[in-house]
Amino acid sequence: MLHRLLGSKLPSNVEKLVAPNILVIDELKGHEDVDPRRLKGLIERIASDRVLRRPIAADKITHVILDGHHRLEALMAMNCRRVPVVLLDYLSPEIHVVSWKTGEEIRKDIVLEAALTGRKLAPRTTKHMVQHGGKLWHISVLERRIDIALEELRERLLVR
């Protein structure tokens, strides 16, 4: 059940399940490389909009990215220091990882190892899914639209 995944009661509208946290961009760890052409187009769109539409999804313990590698790279290219992130329990049985190409299951330890060692997988190797109502949904259903201004993500971090 999604309520275990998110640690709260499951509301009727899955898209409004979680509010993103704002993390320092360097805290996130990618497990896949990005496609330079796709990245270029995304940078152009975000720069034109002057907002980031959706947060990134990551594991709440390791900060390994589950969805949003291209968004993260685009924000880094635009000198952002912070990033909105939906933090999830990656070890939850409700999160599944499958291959974009074949649909076959991919073990989570392979994803974690790629991120933590820096030996990244090819772009779009993994597709993270969340189980709800007997179906698998792309994890982006948990990344509700936020439209946060790029300037907010570029603001200088306070040093304490």
* Contacts (Cβ under 8 Å, ≥6 apart) of 21: 84, 85, 86, 87
Q: Is residue 159 part of a domain?
A: no
pLDDT tens for each residue of 117-146: 999 999 999 999 999 888 999 999 999 899
- Which tokens belong to 114? 């790629």
- The confidence score (pLDDT) of residue 157 equals 56
CATH number for the domain that contains residue 121: 3.90.1530.10
pLDDT tens for each residue of 26-62: 999 999 999 999 999 999 999 999 999 999 999 999 9
Q: Is residue 160 part of a domain?
A: no
- Based on the structure, what is the number of domains in the chain? 1
19 has a pLDDT exceeding 50: yes
Q: Is residue 71 part of a domain?
A: yes
Rounded to whole angstroms, the Cα distance separating 98 from 91 reads 15
Domain of residue 72 covers: 2-154
* Contacts (Cβ under 8 Å, ≥6 apart) of 152: 82
Q: Is residue 78 part of a domain?
A: yes
Write down the pTM of the prediction.
0.85
Q: In what order do the strands lie in the sheet with 95-99?
A: 95-99, 126-132, 135-138
